[in-house]
Amino acid sequence: MPFPTERPRRLRATPALRSLVREQRLHPSQLVLPMFVKEGLDSPREVTSLPGVVQHSRASLVDAAHEAVEAGVGGLMLFGVPAERDARGSGADDPEGILNLGLRDLADAVGDRTVVMADLCLDEFTDHGHCGVLVPDGPRAGTVDNDATLARYTSMALAQAAAGATVLGLSGMMDGQVGVVRAALDEAGRDDVVLLAYAAKYASAFYGPFREAVESTLVGDRRAYQQDPANRREALREVRLDVEEGADVVMVKPALPYLDVLSDVAQEVDVPVWAYQVSGELAMVEAAAANGWLDRERTILETLASVQRAGADAVLTYWAVEAARWLRRG
């Protein structure tokens, strides 16, 4: 008797079979919602280039956090939008600054039911829009001073931990940032605080709508410290260094354009690997769906599945609440 011809599609014949043999299963708890809180707002303000995303007032931030928790979202990543900025980003470590106030609000409201996370970077707080302190004079004037920036990150970390953040997202791409922040937290008795290193963060064109959300004042670009989109091996070097310095979790950002890098990183390290589905990724899908070119729900869930399939243990996505509800619906 001849051996029967293999027919893999037999396992795809019914919804029940497809569900039974599915290799990856995204859960709402693996989704993290990025949120923006703006100083001086009385009500939420729409971000025009990010459909469905708003800058929150402190009150609406708490309401939205409760909504996310009820949907089963695993964490909340908070960004602050201050009313005033200066060269050193003074508002970043001010206990009464908008980001630290927002963190305190979230920790008080939902800190026992979800993971409260803080973006640890200066770009939202500096008047020049860069992620660090600039060299004031000399031949390198106007470039980011790595070591001076690390001192500011240390101060930010202590302030964010005091405000109630459980996870600090080191997103500035400064050399040595994980090591100095870990040492400062441990010395202050805060070895309970988790460090999420944006270890492979690329100088991407996909960040445009985010800059509207944080009202970025950036002049120029960040290519001198964020990674070149053409480089793959370099990402693994960055990741190894961050893990050696004490990173508890590492991040690849953006997600979809860098699935190869995400896969490399997931195979390289034994700490959790996350990915950030950034603003430009959302904007593309929303624009296409609005024109009737894509099925919105199917496309969103497919993008999330692809990021998980490439190796992400969790995904930061602006669709977190909506996707969590779809996943729970089944």
pLDDT of residue 48: 93
Residue 16 covered by a domain: no
* Domain carrying residue 68: 26-329
Give this prediction's pTM: 0.95
Is residue 1 in a domain? no
Looking at residue 218, what is its pLDDT?
85
The verdict on residue 114 lying in a domain is: yes
Low-confidence residues of the chain, pLDDT below 70? 1-4
pLDDT per residue over 104-116, tens digit each?
Answer: 999 999 999 999 9
Residue 4 in domain: no
Task: Tell me how many domains the chain contains.
Answer: 1
What CATH number is given to the structural domain containing 130?
Answer: 3.20.20.70
Residues identified as active-site: 201, 253
Whether 5 maps to a domain, the answer reads no
pLDDT of residue 3: 63
In a domain, 222, yes or no: yes
What is the four-CA torsion angle of 35, 172, 248, 109, rounded to 10 degrees? -20
**CB of 81 closer than 8 Å to CB of 98:** yes
Q: Give the residue from 156, 132, 155, 152 showing the smallest Cα distance to 142.
A: 132
